[in-house]
Structure 1
Amino acid sequence: MSEPAPNPYAAPGEADPPKARGTTLVESRMLRFVFFGLLYLAQGIPWGFLAGGYRVFLIDRGLSNEALGAVMQVAYLPWSFKVFFGPLLDRYRGGRFGRRRPFIVLAEILMGVPLLALAAVDPARLGLVNVLLFLHNTFAALQDVAVDGLAVDILPEHETGRANSIMWAGKVVGVMIGGAGAVLAKHVGWQATFVAMTLPVWLIMLVPLLVRERPRGEDTRLAQEGKRLNVPELVRTLRFWPALSGFLLGFVMPAGFALVGTFTTRLYRKDLALSEEALYLLTVIDTPAGVVGALVGGALADRMGTRKTMAMSMTLIGVVMATFASLSDLWPRYALLVVYGATLQIAICSYSASALKFFMRLSNPALGATQFTAYMAMTNLCYSFTARYGGWMADTFGYQRAFFIASVVQVVVIPLLLLCDPRKAEAHFRAEENVAAAPQM
């Protein structure tokens, strides 16, 4: 085994605790948690708008499940561009403003511009609306890469479970805010709604503007001494089977619940005739359930190990979807939709929080954002791919069979987790003392 490359950007480890009242991210644990939680909140707002308000907008214009899925496929596609953004950002060693903050701030500025442009566009011009949302999601993906790269840079291993829980909980809250788009548009119009989606993203931008990654002198030193993307290290990583198989897992693990995402909204809106308010109430109820799921998933990942937590969560997801499919006669009952949505959200967010830690542990710290964000890009590519085929499945086989098929898909991929052991990745990429401190599977 070759010598693991050190990560000069890392925060102090468990044996060297940070200062209690530090004013930078590497000095303050609490500041790290708040910082990443708020930035994931900013990511969740546009994602929630796409998953909620924009889908309702398209459904009300008569799109079929497959057509709706095709539109969502294009909207989600920019998130797979993260596989290219990671190496680009890792070429930058940093400066007075830090290594990741310039990209975070730039991306958040650019995220807001297409949303404001949408306020001046006729919503009936779907082609132009799709182009602007495509641009918005491209910049949102860039922000995501910069935030994840910063997390990989500075989070000590013993903090990743709790931090991932907080990050995913923040995204869930952001999704709830973004999901209000359809209700807001019903009262103030779509143009004003796009402006309202922009404001919180730009307000949260103040956080990376005001909070430094590390003390000023250290930022300057790392700008001169820090490492760019290490190509030999990248080759070494890609030749390591557990790390390489992580790309397959990133693509297939969310496939089951991703298949049902798009057509579930159309089922509720078109077939069950739910109002904008009734749809949004489901999102509001799902939010605390998702926060609980993320926190529980992170805690279980720390205690039991990431693979066991992911397998348990994925099994629960499959059982919940299969149970819902078997109760199709009761779908018009709103109480069933509440219970189904909340339970599914707990399971999905538990999976997501533990998966974040899983992929962070598979990643080589010497590659910064490159490897981890490539894993996340594969997950986002899964969402884009399944959006269309989930819609086709619902149109072809009907909703009940589509839910059953998705539940089976979700469960049958679980054994693939055996391909990747995070302990082996840490032994391969990190120093032995760091491996000894890692929780056992």
Structure 2
Amino acid sequence: MAKEKNRQKKRFSRILTDNALTRYVTFSALYTAQGIPEGITFFAIPAWLAMNDKSAMEIAAYVGVIGIPWSFKILIAPLMDRWTFLAMGRKRPWVIFGQLGLIISFLCIGLIPDPLNNAFGLMAAGFFISFFGAFQDVATDGMAVDVIPENEQARANGLMWGTKTIGISASLIIGTWLINTVGFSIAISSLSIAVAMIMIFPIYFKERAGEKLMPWSPGEVSSESKQTQLRSWKHIFKSLYKVVRLKSSVVFGIGAFVIGLMFGLIDTLLPIFSIQELGWTNTSFSNAFSITTVIGGFLGMFIGGYLVDYFGKIKMLSVYLSLLIILIAVFGFMTNLWSNNVVVYGFILSYYTLYTFLCIAMFAAAMHLCWKTVAATQFTIYMALSNMGRATGAAMLGVLKTHYSWEIVFLIIAIMPLIMAILIRFINFDKHRVTVDSFVILNQKFAAPQVIKD
């Protein structure tokens, strides 16, 4: 009886490091919170501006400004690795701060007078939403690397990526409906309610046993946090250099950039290709995008993580990349079937499903390569390289389309997953993990010796 009682207690633990269900639910909720601002700021508001006859230049300027904070992630991450309120956990205080900033930012954007003709105010509010969205993203990723065991990383990433996709699609659909129904200010501000509800999770759950729930609560710094927390910029960057210079880390970083090229090329290509080449309307493309990404998100949640867990990261990365090579190349040759909407829908659905599965496997691989001491910064470097690839790929499309036909462009894009498929053959996760684990001695040597009191 006592054993069953302890089992139930463990099952419903409020400690992230003690309970798998707690980890899955908490990180799924936090990734949903990441999707909400992206769906509104990057999709719903630009569509609303376009509907009200704003020029492409004005809309592009808005999107450009709100995209700037996401490049700050590489600067935010070292700050989180360097400073925190350890008594509440290594990353949980930052998650709460980012979530609170999102709530306030959503409320502020609803207070902008005449947002349709107030470009500066709209950009400023959108900038801060993106800033706190990026802030929460880095903090959540860092906490995930800290508390999710290796054998759960793929499954957790499946849930996280799927719920983020659902958050983007849901906020886009609901936000657009609210804007058209009750007006911009009330619609956008009301989304702060959803973000506030999600804030319950980082407030209610703790990273490790014995830590403070809030600054005024009883508790103390866990021994594990003291061992992994560094308090010197020199040692942080020295530790970061030691892990990112390892062969597997370098190869994965190059691969992340290369596959980011594919992401950027396809994301930029599809709306232009479907509207200008196939004669679709922007509404038709938006519907196709929403439906296929949600389907891909659900499949990723319930299948993607399990496949990586069962077959392994390298094997599933190879499978996904091989399927993407075939899919993109074959579609490039099927010019006579491009007029068939079923074929095009099938391509978009297949691509975004494989895209979701590939992202899940890549996130799990990136987490496995991280050293907990500098996890937020190291993981952010991989994501930053992928984002740099996306931006470069988007810029490349204009040059490629100027000189080549759509068929050749598709074939060139298919080269990107081929390159990464070759690169991952040089990654050895087991050898990398052994080397990283050996750094623990160095980490203990330079960890903060003082004990933080209640």
* TM-score under structure 1 length normalisation: 0.81
Partners in 1 of 2:404 and 2:50 — Cα distance?
19
Q: What is the deviation of 1:267?
A: 4.9
Residue 363 of structure 1 pairs with residue 370 of structure 2: yes
Equivalent runs, 1:195-214 vs 2, <5 Å:
195-214=189-208
Query: CA RMSD for the aligned pairs?
Result: 3.3
| Residue type of the alignment partner of 1:87 | P
**Whole-Å Cα distance in 1 between the matches of residues 407 and 300 of structure 2?**
26
Pick from 152, 161, 168 the counterpart of residue 168 of structure 1: 161
Change (3 A) 1:104 1:317: same
Counterpart AA for 2:226: E
Distance 1:227 1:413 in 2: 32
Q: Which amino acid aligns with 1:147?
A: T
Cα distance in 2 for partners of 1:295, 1:304 equals 15
Amino acid in the other structure paired with 1:220? E
Q: Cα–Cα, structure 1 residues 91 and 325, in superposed 2: closer, same or farther, change >3 Å?
A: same
Per the alignment, residue 312 of structure 1 pairs with: 319
Tell me how far 1:417 sits from its aligned partner: 1.8
Paired with 1:113 and 1:268, the residues of 2 have a C-alpha distance of 38
Moved more, 207-216 or 110-119: 110-119
The answer to whether the Cα contact below 8 Å between 2:163 and 2:297 also exists between their aligned partners in 1 is: no
For residue 425 of structure 1, report the CA deviation from its aligned partner. 1.2
Which residue of structure 2 aligns with residue 27 of structure 1?
18
Local SS of the residue matching 1:221: coil
Alpha carbons 1:48, 1:174 under 8 Å: kept: yes
Q: Which amino acid aligns with 1:198?
A: S
Partner Cα distance (1:385, 1:125) in 2: 31
Aligned partner (choices 42, 62, 79) of residue 88 of structure 1: 79
- Structure 1 residue 35, shift from structure 2 partner: 0.4
Cα deviation, 1:287-337, whole Å, max 9, x if unaligned, reads 133321354332222222212212321232343334444455655654344
- Equivalent in the alignment of 1:109: 100
Q: Which of 112, 136, 154 lines up with 2:129 in the alignment? A: 136
Equivalent residue letter for 1:153: D
Shift of the 240–54 alpha-carbon distance from structure 1 to 2, 3 Å rule, reads same
Q: Could you tell me which residue of structure 1 aligns to residue 256 of structure 2? A: 250
Which range moved further: 192-201 or 40-49?
Answer: 192-201
How many residues end up aligned between the 2 structures?
414
Structure 1 residues 21 and 182 mapped into 2: Cα distance closer, same or farther (>3 Å)? closer
Cα deviation digits, residues 46-86 of structure 1 (max 9, x gap):
2333553345346655766x997786565444323222222
Task: Work out the percentage of aligned pairs sharing the same amino acid.
Answer: 24
Letter in 1 for 2:413: A
> Which residue of the partner structure matches residue 436 of structure 1?
none
Query: Which of 148, 153, 156 matches 1:155?
Result: 148
SS in 1 for 2:14: coil
Q: Please say which of residues 54-63 and 362-371 is displaced more in the overlay.
A: 54-63
2:210 to 199, 216, 222: 216
Matched, 1:40 2:31: yes
Structure 1 match to 2:247: 241
The gaps in structure 2 that reach 5 residues or longer are 1-8, 213-218, 440-454
- Once the two structures are TM-superposed, the CA of residue 39 in structure 1 deviates from its matched residue by 0.6
Report the Cα distance in structure 1 between the residues aligned to 2:269 and 2:58, rounded to whole angstroms. Answer: 10
Q: Work out whether residues 244 and 250 of structure 2, in 8 Å CA contact, stay in contact via their aligned partners in 1.
A: yes
Distance in 2 (alpha carbons) for counterparts of 1:410 and 1:57:
35
DSSP-derived class of the 1:27 partner: coil
* CA–CA separation in structure 2 for the residues paired with 1:396 and 1:179: 35
Unaligned runs of 5+ in 1: 1-17, 433-441
